[in-house]
Amino acid sequence: MQFSAIKALLATAVVATGIGSGAALADNLDRRVRIINKTGYTIVRFYGSHTDARNWQEDILGNSVLPSGRQVTVNFDDGTGYCIFDLRAEFEDGDVVEEYGVNVCEIGSFTYH
């Protein structure tokens, strides 16, 4: 009986260690995405907010813009552990393009056409 209790305790420890390792790996996912503008118009503001955010976060470009034919690498790691983000690009001609549910942990680039 004592051997079974020790065996069960070891199995629980192994499972707990596996869960902890998985969480640590999830926290270390690469959330950097190259944003590519191939629209013919300059992106004047760009936002990326995790999918459960209630509003758009700050303009990622700040005082900069993203001209057509150029690219910028954005690190979407906001400390929340989220991989799913909503993106919003505002263009010089007033057009707005919103893309929802983008998995920034799985893609290396996102192109506006």
**Mean pLDDT across the chain, nearest whole number?**
84
Q: What is the pLDDT of residues 62-79, one digit of tens each?
A: 999 999 999 999 999 999
DSSP structure class, residue 76:
-
Cβ-contact 15, 57 below 8 angstroms: no
Topology at the third CATH level for domain 31-112 = Immunoglobulin-like (2.60.40)
Contacts of 57 by beta carbon, 8 Å cutoff, 6+ apart = 47, 48, 49, 78
Residue 63 identity: N
Full-model pTM? 0.75
Domain ranges of the chain: 1-29, 31-112
Interval 20-35: pLDDT, tens: 333 334 567 999 999 9
- Structural contact between residues 30 and 109, judged by C-beta atoms closer than 8 angstroms: no
